[in-house]
């Protein structure tokens, strides 16, 4: 499981709003980590807040570790980046083969639309999958 530390900012019924202390997966500073935390600080200065189920009734101000299932970050990244990019590329190549430059432009647009629709489908699928949902572990 991948996790990061945060604190309970407020409570919303059965859920806690968690303000994350760091961006990324929490492995950014470890050997072999991606360093995405540094990029996130540069691009997003506002604190990240997530709505997470709170079955253990954590209280406001409590420091907690939020985790997501193994592989869910990788799967989400592939759905968000790789699939739309491949759809755009394949659409442009198919359009180019069929109708030259104008076909490549039209194919790329169609590819982007297909990529967006695929991303929406993956988002709906993962929203219903409990392995992809964040949870409070400590």
State pLDDT tens for residues 4-49. Answer: 888 999 998 899 999 987 655 555 656 666 655 555 566 556 668 8
Query: Domain segments of the chain: what residues?
Result: 1-68, 70-133
8-state DSSP, 132: G
pLDDT at 131: 79
The mean pLDDT of 78-101, rounded to a whole number, is 94
Across 32-67, b (16+ Cβ under 10 Å) vs e yields eeeeebeebeeeeeeeeeeebebeeebeeeeebebb
Q: What is the pLDDT of residue 127?
A: 83
d(CA 97, CA 95): 5
Average pLDDT of the residues in 87-116: 96
- pTM to 2 decimal places: 0.62
Compute the average pLDDT of residues 121-138.
84
Question: Confidence class of residue 118 from pLDDT cuts 50, 70 and 90?
Answer: very high
């Amino acid at each position: 499981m991948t996790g990061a530390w945060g604190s309970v900012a407020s409570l919303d019924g059965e859920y806690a709003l968690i303000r994350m202390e760091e961006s990324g997966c929490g492995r950014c500073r470890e050997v072999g980590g991606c360093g995405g935390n540094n990029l996130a600080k540069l691009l997003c200065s506002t604190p990240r807040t997530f709505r997470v189920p709170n079955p253990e009734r954590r209280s406001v101000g409590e420091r907690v570790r939020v985790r997501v299932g193994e592989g869910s970050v990788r799967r989400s990244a592939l759905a968000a980046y790789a699939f739309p990019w491949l759809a755009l590329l394949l659409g442009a190549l198919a359009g180019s083969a069929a109708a030259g430059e104008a076909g490549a432009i039209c194919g790329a647009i169609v590819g982007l639309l297909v990529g967006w629709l695929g991303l929406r489908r993956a988002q709906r699928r993962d929203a219903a999958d409990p392995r992809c949902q964040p949870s409070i572990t400590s």
